[in-house]
């Protein structure tokens, strides 16, 4: 399974991506979590705590034209093996780093390296046995600019708010222009019975699953902990288990 999680800012992408990665790893998958959001999120949801590190700085160099490229001998598998960090349940995290006040110039090397790694990942077979879960920044930008060539499924996280639904509609439209990618919409922070209908009607498509609003999610966040560590039996974790079932079933039936 190769998933990327998309949606509006604050929709719950990082919580969904991080918890999915942990659950899939517990189920026996080798899981690579990919974070291409310059804003913190996935490392915390995975249980690694806040982590700014631009992981691919040592993987890149500048060519004669001043463009960043991966150093000789660094393909997708080696980049993952050498530069990713192993977290709880054995999930490996590769991130391009977080924007901080200092060092944007160097940080760009890691960003460029990351873009090249995900493209190699999509092309070569060396990680074919791995499950990939990508966490993307808010909005349709990265989907439009081909940051997720590895994904065969886009999980579109949608809250029952107009802004979230309008963003989701744009992302769904842009993503479907890429052939071969299946877009599955998940409702999040649902509070009322009518919320599923409301999202489906305004989004113009059926939801592949949904998560309730769950105060334990915000509580985990406030403690800087992974949801699955803070509240393993919470309604949200159980809902994410169902989401994994739902999308793996879709894979079989596809």
Ligand X SMILES: Nc1ncnc2c1ncn2[C@@H]1O[C@H](COP(=O)(O)OP(=O)(O)O)[C@@H](O)[C@H]1O
Name the site residues for ligand X (rule: CB under 6 A). 7, 9-15, 41, 188-189, 211, 213-214, 217-218, 221, 236
User: How many whole angstroms separate alpha carbon 106 and alpha carbon 116?
Assistant: 16
Is 12 near Mg ion (CB under 5 A)?
no
Is 40 near Mg ion (CB under 5 A)?
no
Q: Shortest gap between Cβ of 42 and Mg ion (angstroms)?
A: 7
Give 11 or 184: the residue with its C-beta nearer to ligand X.
11
Binding test (CB under 5 A) with Mg ion, winner from 5, 7, 11, 14: 14
DSSP annotation of 49 reads -
Give 76 or 136: the residue with its C-beta nearer to ligand X.
136
Q: Which of ligand X, Mg ion, none lies near 236, with the C-beta cut-off 5 to 8 A by kind?
A: ligand X
Q: Where are the alpha helices (DSSP H) in 6-103?
A: 13-26, 42-46, 76-83
Tell me phi and psi for residue 143, to 5 degrees: -60, -40
Q: Which of ligand X, Mg ion, none lies near 97, with the C-beta cut-off 5 to 8 A by kind?
A: none
Nearest 5°: the CA angle 241, 86, 218 is: 45
Pairing relationship of beta strands 2-7 and 182-190 according to DSSP bridges: unpaired
Q: Shortest gap between Cβ of 103 and Mg ion (angstroms)?
A: 21
Query: Which long-range contacts does 48-53 make (Cβ < 8 Å, 24+ apart)?
Result: 48/85, 48/87, 48/88, 48/93, 49/224, 50/224, 51/85, 51/93, 51/95, 51/98, 52/97, 52/98, 52/100, 53/85, 53/95, 53/97
How far, in Å, are 44, 156, 185, 186 from residue 15 at the CA level?
9, 13, 15, 13
Binding test (CB under 5 A) with Mg ion, winner from 12, 41, 97, 209: 41
How far is the first Cα of the chain from the last one, in angstroms, to the nearest whole number? 13
Both structure tokens of 155: 């999980």
Q: Shortest gap between Cβ of 13 and Mg ion (angstroms)?
A: 5
Give 15 or 59: the residue with its C-beta nearer to ligand X.
15
Q: Shortest gap between Cβ of 49 and ligand X (angstroms)?
A: 14
Is 175 near Mg ion (CB under 5 A)?
no
Give 213 or 229: the residue with its C-beta nearer to ligand X.
213
Build a one-symbol-per-residue string for 72-101: x at contacts with Mg ion by CB under 5 A, - elsewhere. Answer: ------------------------------
Give 82 or 232: the residue with its C-beta nearer to ligand X.
232
Give 74 or 217: the residue with its C-beta nearer to ligand X.
217
Give contact residues for Mg ion (rule: CB under 5 A): 13-14, 41
């Amino acid at each position: 399974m190769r998933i990327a999680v998309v949606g509006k800012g604050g929709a719950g992408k990082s919580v969904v991506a991080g918890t999915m990665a942990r659950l899939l790893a517990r189920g026996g998958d080798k899981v690579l979590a990919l974070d291409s959001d310059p804003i913190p999120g996935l490392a915390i949801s995975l249980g690694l705590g806040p982590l700014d590190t631009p992981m691919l700085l040592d993987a890149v160099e500048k060519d004669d034209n001043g463009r960043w490229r991966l150093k000789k001998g660094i393909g997708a598998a080696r980049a993952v093996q050498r530069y990713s960090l192993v977290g709880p349940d054995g999930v490996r995290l590769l991130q391009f780093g977080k924007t901080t006040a200092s060092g944007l110039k160097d940080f760009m090397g890691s960003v460029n390296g990351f873009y090249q790694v995900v493209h190699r990942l999509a092309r070569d077979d060396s990680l074919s046995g791995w499950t990939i879960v990508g966490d993307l920044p808010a909005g349709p930008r990265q989907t439009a600019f081909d940051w997720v060539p590895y994904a065969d499924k886009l999980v579109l996280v949608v809250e029952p708010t107009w802004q979230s639904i309008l963003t989701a509609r744009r992302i769904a439209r842009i993503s479907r222009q890429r052939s071969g990618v299946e877009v599955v919409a998940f409702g999040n922070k649902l509070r009322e019975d009518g919320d599923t209908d409301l999202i489906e009607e305004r989004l113009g498509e059926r939801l592949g699953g949904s998560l309730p609003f769950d105060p334990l999610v915000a509580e985990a966040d406030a403690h800087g902990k992974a949801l699955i560590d803070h509240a393993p039996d919470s309604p949200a974790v159980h809902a994410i288990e169902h989401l994994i079932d739902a999308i793996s079933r879709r894979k079989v039936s596809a």
